[in-house]
Structure 1
Amino acid sequence: MNRLFWRFAALVMLAITLATCVIYFTFSRLFGDPLEEIARSQAAGQIFLLEQYIDRAPADEWLPRLNKVREVSKATLELKPLQATLAALPDSKRDQLLQGAVVIDVGGKAFYRRVDMTGARYIGSDDDVIHAQRLPIDIGQALGMEAIRFGVIALFLLVPIGWWSRRHWRGLMALSRMADDFGQGDLAARAAVRPASSIAPLAARINDMAERIALLMEARKNLLHSVSHELRTPIARLEFGLELLRERHAADDPALQKRVAAMETDVDELKTLVNELLDLTQLDHAQAMPRKPFALAPVLQACAPPMQPSSQPHFSASIATDLGELQGDARLLARAVDNLLGNAAKYAASRIVLSAMRGGSTVRIVVEDDGPGIPHEARERVFEPFYRLAREQDYAASGYGLGLAIAAKAILLHGGAIAIDDSPLGGARFTITL
């Protein structure tokens, strides 16, 4: 059964229990204790003998008749002093006894009643009380019957609730599966809910929202893809024009050669940006990745930070040999690690460390450096496309804010996660968990 049903069942049972308590206390205040009424009806035979047989005897035969009833009855009938009995009774029942009423003792399976109030039975009879014990009072049976009655009511309430909650829960699970699939990149996922379901209006609105998001994402994908592809043609023309300019006019002009070299650098940066945009677009809309088993250690051993025009930081690697195999795309995972190493190379002062180790079924790959690190408040946002920190080091390091976004998406496609914290070296530490 679903959690929704059990919550409803708990609420129904709690409501029935509370209603029973409220009814009991209300009836007790208005009409007297219901348990006493049950006990009085069960002891009706003994009360009838007292009132219709013993009390109707003449005064000189009252005690003999009481003794006859003692002989044939299973109940015990005793005479007790009035004052001692009053001391044993609660305040609410003393007035009843003094007025000559039958006072029921539910727990003791007994009742009390004064012999008379005038002393007409025998000398001092107005100071005596009849105490009847061992009466056929069984409150447990009555309570059991009430419990069965409320149990049947609860059952007839829970059966339709269970039927309804089961259908409702199925609809919620359909919405949940749709949300999971949509969140994992399946933009065609939609919730299939019966039109008569109570959540059908909600499902329809979620499906409409998903449809609009899918259209927007498709439009974004087409725009980025088209722009990136269309940019390649003018970039190729620029490269060709610069090459002709270098060969025909810049050979004897050092200033023009310098200018052409700067323009070629700009064109190379533009080509890199276009290629990274295409890569990011492909990863954004990758529904499934071709998965093949590959040895992880050789892939990581082949990774290294790119050469920097300035002084090259010292790079060291500590890669365990027992990393085993991984199901996925070796080229894509290597690209993610290379991007992290390239990011470290931009900021490291003198050291970059790559390490990998295995713990059970988990592999941890760590890239760390001794650079300025990443502030706590920016550690989630650095994986967003085009996000760059507003620091002097970041402007000096160039780049477009796409490398870490590509690395994060590549790792996510492998079912892994990436986190940032402080490195013992002094800079940032990126930890990949697969």
Structure 2
Amino acid sequence: MNRLFFRFFVLVMLAITGATFLIYFAISRLYGDPLEDIARRQAAAQIFLLQHYVDQAPADEWLVRLNKVREVSEARYELLPLAQARAALPAGRRAALERGEVVVDVAAKAFYRRVDLKGERYVGSDEDAILAQGLPIDTTQALQQEALRFVIVALALLLPIALWSRAHWQGLQQLSRVADEFGAGKLSARAATRPSASIHPLAERMNAMAERIERLLESQRNLLHSVSHEVRTPIARLEFGLELLRSAADNPALEGRIAAMEADLHELNALVGELLGMTRLDSGQAMRRQFFELAPALLDCVAAQPEGPPVVETRLADGLGGVDGDRRLLMRAVGNLVGNARKYAAGAVVVTAVRKPGLVEIAVEDDGPGIPVDERDRVFEPFYRMDRSRDRASGGFGLGLSIARKAVALHGGTLHAEDGELGGARFVIRLPA
């Protein structure tokens, strides 16, 4: 945001500077150089003496009067060949010299003029020029006035622009904060602007959009929550019916079929539970933050895994300390990662934890087939499974990794997959210390 207004300020300054030079160039082309006009006014006394005293003398007294002017004037007058005067002037000024005009050289504090166009002053005067040097020309004050004029104009333009930009900047900052809060999951965030504010129409549209998104997400969560609860009722009835059927059945084949149906019901019940967990995470109602020690929590999480191979090894660094968060939610995320690793591990699963400057890093690694690089982000999408038949056989729904990432994100952390030292997948959780 600051970069936007800084660029706007630089653009305005460049525009003012460019306009100043353009005005100076246009005036110079149409009316002559303003600095030369100032210099001509400052040298007006010397020009007046030359034109109204020396030039008014009879032909045989012209040089005499010029010498008298030399004696009383602080300027130095000298005669030089016309060709030398032409060479001293730029090409654009030579035409004025040829016409007999006074040509002022501001930088040299001097002026040139032909002595005579027709050679009437003295013999050969049409090939001579007079040079007056050391004139009282000082354009410093004029340049300072121009600079002051530029500063006043710049301030007169920039102050209203700055006030206008400040109001816009504050409004955009507020919209930016609301967008950040809304993106972080605070769906009730709204922008509060005065009706007179220039961004008020934009804020109203943004609030209307946020309100509609909040209603849609709330309706989606409510629908998913209601459906999940409603589905559990027939599941419970089916379980009760299957239990009665099992107690009354003597056919082994029928008992096998009943067992398969019970497995499907358990799977469906687990799926409903995962969906409810996702709904609670999305609504942000699952957080109960408190400070807890990390090492005991990780050991309890690993110990709670179902018995059987592969055995999970823990490597916890000393001085892990604690973290501020929801222990149940974070350990569920770690448990999902451990359970996922046990599904695909050939024989080894390792959980490591270490404290680094500013963060705590928890890693779950296995020696399984690993995850292709192009699918390491997609595995965190809900219901995404690389090998659906294998996941179904192992009882997976494609929700465990998604729930784990959401739980970590609610704590301000990150979860990503990378290559592991054991040859399989390595999931790394980084939490702010």
Shorter-chain TM-score above 0.5: yes
Aligned Cα RMSD in Å?
2.2
1:368 equivalent among 365, 374, 395: 365
User: Normalising by the residue count of structure 2, what TM-score does the alignment of the two structures yield?
Assistant: 0.92
Deviations 1:228-258 (A, max 9, x none): 2222222222222222233x313x4322322
Structure 2: distance between partners of 1:384 and 1:16: 54
Question: In structure 1, what is the equivalent of residue 223 of structure 2?
Answer: 223
1:390: Cα distance to partner?
4.7
Q: 1:308·1:345 contact (CA, 8 Å) conserved in 2?
A: no
Q: 2:336·2:400 contact (CA, 8 Å) conserved in 1?
A: yes
Structure 2: distance between partners of 1:348 and 1:421: 15
TM-aligned CA distance change 1:93 to 1:287, over 3 Å: farther
Question: In structure 2, what is the equivalent of residue 249 of structure 1?
Answer: 248
Range that drifts further, 300-309 or 140-149: 300-309
Structure 2: distance between partners of 1:4 and 1:42: 47
Q: 1:319·1:356 contact (CA, 8 Å) conserved in 2?
A: yes
1:385: Cα distance to partner?
1.8
1:320: Cα distance to partner?
0.8
Q: Does 1:417 align with 2:401?
A: no
Question: In structure 1, what is the equivalent of residue 150 of structure 2?
Answer: 150
Q: Which runs of 5+ in 1 are unaligned?
A: none
Structure 2: distance between partners of 1:393 and 1:71: 114
Question: In structure 1, what is the equivalent of residue 213 of structure 2?
Answer: 213
Deviations 1:367-414 (A, max 9, x none): 122222223333223222222225554444331111111101110111
Q: 1:5·1:162 contact (CA, 8 Å) conserved in 2?
A: no
TM-aligned CA distance change 1:29 to 1:93, over 3 Å: same
Q: 1:8·1:161 contact (CA, 8 Å) conserved in 2?
A: no
Structure 2: distance between partners of 1:59 and 1:332: 113
Task: Show the 5 A alignment for 1:9-408.
Answer: 9-246=9-246, 248-250=247-249, 252-286=250-284, 289-304=287-302, 306-307=305-306, 312-390=309-387, 392-408=389-405
The letter for the 2-side match of 1:357 is V
Range that drifts further, 280-289 or 219-228: 280-289
1:360: Cα distance to partner?
1.0
Structure 2: distance between partners of 1:258 and 1:390: 27
Structure 1: distance between partners of 2:362 and 2:100: 92
Structure 2: distance between partners of 1:2 and 1:141: 38
Count of equivalent residues: 430
Q: 2:280·2:286 contact (CA, 8 Å) conserved in 1?
A: no
Range that drifts further, 204-213 or 229-238: 229-238
User: Normalising by the residue count of structure 1, what TM-score does the alignment of the two structures yield?
Assistant: 0.92
Range that drifts further, 73-82 or 187-196: 73-82
1:5: Cα distance to partner?
4.5
Deviations 1:259-298 (A, max 9, x none): 2222221221122111111111111101683321111122
Range that drifts further, 366-375 or 158-167: 366-375
1:2: Cα distance to partner?
5.4
The letter for the 1-side match of 2:407 is A
Q: Percent identity?
A: 62
1:151: Cα distance to partner?
1.6
The letter for the 2-side match of 1:351 is A
Structure 2: distance between partners of 1:279 and 1:301: 23
Q: 1:347·1:397 contact (CA, 8 Å) conserved in 2?
A: no
1:210: Cα distance to partner?
0.9
Structure 1: distance between partners of 2:93 and 2:335: 91
Deviations 1:94-144 (A, max 9, x none): 222222111111211111111212333233322322111122222332222
Q: 1:340·1:407 contact (CA, 8 Å) conserved in 2?
A: yes
Secondary structure of the residue aligned to 1:433 is strand
The letter for the 1-side match of 2:248 is H
Deviations 1:174-228 (A, max 9, x none): 2111111111111111111222222222211111111111111111111111112
